[in-house]
C-alpha cells in the first residue's frame, strides 16, 4: 500500500472516529506511527483543522454570577470555560480524548496549538489551560481521558 494513500485513509479515520476505547487505541497507534512520517508543523495543522471543524463554532455564554464564560456547542454541552484572568478549563471528555490519546499530544505540545487557536478563533486572552482529569479504576491514578493510559 502506498504511504500517501495510507495517510489519507488515516485522516479520514480520525475525522470519523467512534468514541470507543478500542478505536481510540487503534487510532493512537496509527498516529504514533504517523509522527515519524509527518513534520510537527503538519501535525499541528491537522490538529488545528480538526479543532476548527469540530469546535470552531461554539457559542459563548456569560455566567450571570461570576466572570466566567462558557463555550457551548449546538447541543448546549459545555466544552470549555474561560475567566477574566486568562484561565481556560477544558470540560469536554471527547475533546480531551482526541487531543491527548489520538493525536498523542502532551500538555506542552497541546498548549502550543490550543492557546493560539483559542486566541485566534474566540478572541480570548489565554494565559493557562487546565485539563480535567478522571480517576481510573484500573490503576487508581488520574488521567486526562476517561480511559486508562499505560
User: How many Å separate Cα 142 from the centre of its chain?
Assistant: 17
DSSP 71: E
**Per-residue pLDDT at 86 exceeds 50:** yes
Mean pLDDT of all residues in 3-21: 41
Whether the predicted pLDDT of 107 surpasses 90? no
Sequence-distant (≥ 6) Cβ neighbours of residue 18 within 8 angstroms: none
Average pLDDT over residues 76-86: 92
- Which one-letter DSSP state was computed for residue 98? I
15: pLDDT confidence band, cut at 50, 70 and 90? very low
72 against 134, higher pLDDT = 72
CB-facing half-sphere around the CA of 38: CA atoms within 13 A: 22
Q: What is the pLDDT of residue 26?
A: 55
pLDDT score of 18 = 45
Q: In what order do the strands lie in the sheet with 59-62?
A: 59-62, 69-72, 78-82, 87-90, 128-131
* Domain ranges for the chain: 3-143
Amino acid at each position: 500500500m502506498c504511504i500517501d494513500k495510507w495517510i489519507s485513509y488515516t485522516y479520514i479515520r480520525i475525522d470519523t472516529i467512534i468514541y470507543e476505547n478500542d478505536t481510540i487505541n487503534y487510532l493512537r497507534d496509527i498516529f504514533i506511527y504517523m509522527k515519524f512520517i509527518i513534520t510537527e508543523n503538519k501535525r499541528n495543522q491537522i490538529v488545528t483543522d480538526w479543532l476548527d471543524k469540530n469546535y470552531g463554532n461554539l457559542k459563548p455564554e456569560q455566567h450571570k454570577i461570576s466572570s466566567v464564560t462558557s463555550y457551548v456547542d449546538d447541543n448546549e454541552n459545555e466544552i470549555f470555560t474561560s475567566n477574566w484572568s486568562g484561565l481556560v478549563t477544558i470540560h469536554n471528555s471527547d475533546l480531551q480524548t482526541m487531543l491527548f490519546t489520538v493525536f498523542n499530544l502532551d500538555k506542552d505540545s497541546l498548549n502550543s496549538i490550543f492557546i493560539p487557536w483559542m486566541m485566534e478563533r474566540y478572541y480570548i486572552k489565554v494565559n493557562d489551560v487546565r485539563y480535567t482529569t478522571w480517576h481510573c479504576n484500573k490503576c487508581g491514578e488520574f488521567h486526562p481521558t476517561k480511559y486508562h493510559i499505560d
